[in-house]
């Protein structure tokens, strides 16, 4: 069986193999670097192989099927050799999807069957770990896997994540003229929000948040905080206005803080704390459970946290017990992305019949930087 997958999917196999060999995973600090603590792992389950469990005992891996029958016993050193080969093959691979002979070796040695879990499953691996709270007790925790070996991963995808704005203190004709005259990339029909919004701002037009387009996404945002749709829409808008899409910079934008201080009738120092806290909460919930287009009840699906493949092929985790570090890491390492305008029909001014103001939709997408 030859496995064709992208870097992220091959990285999931790499994480699985690394933890099987090491029997533990280092806990990351808020910078994403390995700290001194380790999470000790007794067994692993893969959602793509739901009928199998991989027990780590002394120097061997015991593969057990759904009936409890042992179907393979594999030395941990053999798993390490495959993991090392797989890391090298991922790093030197070409193309979006590719074969790795080391992945094939892993599937044969460990009797793996499934190549990919359902897209609705948030956890990529379930680890049986020794409880950090109750001595001697084991718990099974779901972890999501992210990789630094390929392109920068997306944390929150565009789609249902659109905000609508209107252009005030400006006629439709004048607004459209600004859009027409703004510089644009060669061959593009529109300048894009990174050029359009500063041009509107320089022309003294006021771009004002109007609504969240998708009602389910709006409800999910209100589960974070009832004022959060306004906060997030304004943060995205001001980031485009400034031309700096880093989330850590965006939440401290002076124009944003002035606007929200007036809109929410709160002093600026409290607005700073509020925006940072709520943005961290959005990132955390997006990482662990919330899907923008599905009604969210506030539950976390990846109860354990995140497993991250670092550039050197090592693996670290953010565990629920170091939740504050996880939040800090997400805010410091993410940015607003610029999704396709044509695919999402957003990022340019438009006029509906009978409108006296031009309108604009922006798609929210968050990517690691």
Q: CA Rg, the chain, in Å? A: 24
3-state secondary structure of 334: strand
189 & 121 share domain: no
105 & 209 share domain: no
Q: Where are the beta strands (DSSP E) in the chain?
A: 4-5, 24-28, 34-45, 53-57, 60-64, 70-75, 98-99, 125-130, 138-147, 154-156, 162-168, 206-212, 305-309, 315-319, 334-336, 349-350, 359-363, 366-368
Q: If you average pLDDT over residues 226-253, what whole number do you get?
A: 95
Which residue range forms the structural domain that includes residue 134? 4-151
Assigned domain for 258 exists: yes
Indicate the DSSP class of residue 139.
E
pTM: 0.85
* pLDDT of the residue at 186: 83
Assigned domain for 278 exists: yes
351 & 253 share domain: yes
Cα–Cα distance measured from residue 29 to residue 119, given in angstroms and rounded to the nearest whole number: 29
Assigned domain for 308 exists: no
Q: Which of 111, 134, 151 is the last residue of a domain?
A: 151
147 & 164 share domain: no
Judged by average pLDDT, the poorest of 129-138, 146-155, 166-175, 183-192 is 129-138
265-292 exposure pattern, b = at least 16 Cβ within 10 A, e = fewer = ebeeeebbebbbebbbbbbbbbbbbbbb
164 & 286 share domain: yes
Cα–Cα distance measured from residue 115 to residue 107, given in angstroms and rounded to the nearest whole number: 9
- Cβ atoms of 73 and 63 within 8 Å: the answer is yes
Q: Which of 133, 151, 169 is the last residue of a domain?
A: 151
Averaging pLDDT over each range in 102-116, 130-144, 158-172, 184-198, which range is the top one?
158-172
Task: Give the residue from 215, 331, 211 showing the smallest Cα distance to 278.
Answer: 331
Q: Which of 130, 151, 172 is the last residue of a domain?
A: 151
Of the chain, the percentage scoring pLDDT greater than 70 comes to 95
* pLDDT of the residue at 241: 93
* pLDDT of the residue at 152: 79
209 & 333 share domain: yes
Assigned domain for 307 exists: no
198 & 347 share domain: yes
Cα–Cα distance measured from residue 256 to residue 239, given in angstroms and rounded to the nearest whole number: 9
213 & 341 share domain: yes
> What's the count of helices (H) and strands (E) in the chain, helices before strands?
12, 18
* pLDDT of the residue at 188: 85
Summarised one tens digit per residue, pLDDT across range 188-237 is 889 999 999 999 999 999 999 999 999 999 999 999 999 999 999 999 99
Biggest CA–CA distance in the chain, Å, is 74
Cα–Cα distance measured from residue 33 to residue 31, given in angstroms and rounded to the nearest whole number: 5
212 & 141 share domain: no
Cα–Cα distance measured from residue 192 to residue 5, given in angstroms and rounded to the nearest whole number: 33
Cα–Cα distance measured from residue 157 to residue 292, given in angstroms and rounded to the nearest whole number: 8
- Cβ atoms of 350 and 359 within 8 Å: the answer is yes
- Cβ atoms of 318 and 308 within 8 Å: the answer is yes
Residue 116 backbone zone (phi > 0: left; psi -120 to 50: alpha; other: beta): beta
On the question of pLDDT at 181 being above 90, the answer is yes
Three-state SS sequence of 113-132: CCCCCCCCCCCCEEEEEECC
Give the count of domains, the chain: 2
205 & 336 share domain: yes
- Cβ atoms of 164 and 359 within 8 Å: the answer is yes
279 & 161 share domain: yes
166 & 134 share domain: no
Assigned domain for 311 exists: no
- Cβ atoms of 37 and 147 within 8 Å: the answer is no
């Amino acid at each position: 069986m030859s496995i064709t997958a992208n870097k992220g999917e091959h990285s999931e196999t790499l994480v699985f193999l690394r933890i099987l060999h090491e029997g533990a995973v280092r806990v990351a600090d808020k910078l994403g670097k390995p700290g001194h603590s380790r999470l000790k792992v007794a067994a692993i389950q893969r959602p793509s192989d739901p009928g199998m469990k991989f027990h780590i005992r002394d120097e061997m891996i015991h593969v057990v099927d759904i009936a409890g029958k042992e179907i393979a016993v594999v030395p941990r050193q053999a798993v390490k050799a495959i993991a090392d080969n797989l890391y090298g093959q991922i790093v030197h691979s070409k193309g979006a999807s590719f074969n790795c002979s080391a992945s094939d070796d892993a599937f044969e040695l460990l009797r793996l069957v499934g190549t990919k879990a359902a897209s609705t499953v948030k956890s990529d691996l379930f680890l049986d770990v020794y409880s950090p709270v109750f001595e001697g007790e084991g718990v099974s925790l779901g972890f999501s896997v992210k990789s630094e070996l390929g392109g920068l991963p997306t944390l929150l995808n565009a789609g249902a994540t659109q905000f609508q704005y209107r252009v005030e203190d400006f006629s439709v004709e004048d607004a459209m003229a600004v859009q027409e005259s703004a510089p644009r990339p060669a061959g593009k029909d529109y300048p894009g929000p990174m050029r359009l919004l500063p041009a509107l701002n320089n022309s003294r037009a006021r771009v004002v948040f109007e609504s969240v387009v998708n009602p389910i996404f709006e409800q999910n945002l209100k589960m974070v905080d009832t004022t959060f749709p306004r906060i997030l829409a304004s943060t995205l808008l001001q980031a485009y206005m400034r031309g700096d899409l880093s989330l850590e910079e965006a939440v401290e934008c002076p124009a944003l803080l002035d606007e929200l201080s007036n809109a929410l009738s709160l002093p600026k120092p409290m607005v700073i704390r509020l925006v940072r806290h709520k943005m961290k909460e959005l990132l955390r919930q997006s990482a662990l459970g919330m899907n923008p287009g599905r009604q969210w009840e506030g539950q976390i699906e990846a109860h354990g946290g995140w497993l991250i493949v670092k550039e050197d092929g090592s693996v670290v985790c953010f565990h629920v017990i170091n939740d504050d570090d996880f939040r800090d890491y997400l805010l410091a390492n993410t940015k607003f992305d610029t999704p396709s305008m044509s695919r999402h029909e957003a990022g340019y001014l438009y006029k509906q019949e009978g409108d006296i103001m031009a309108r604009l939709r922006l798609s929210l997408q968050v990517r690691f930087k």
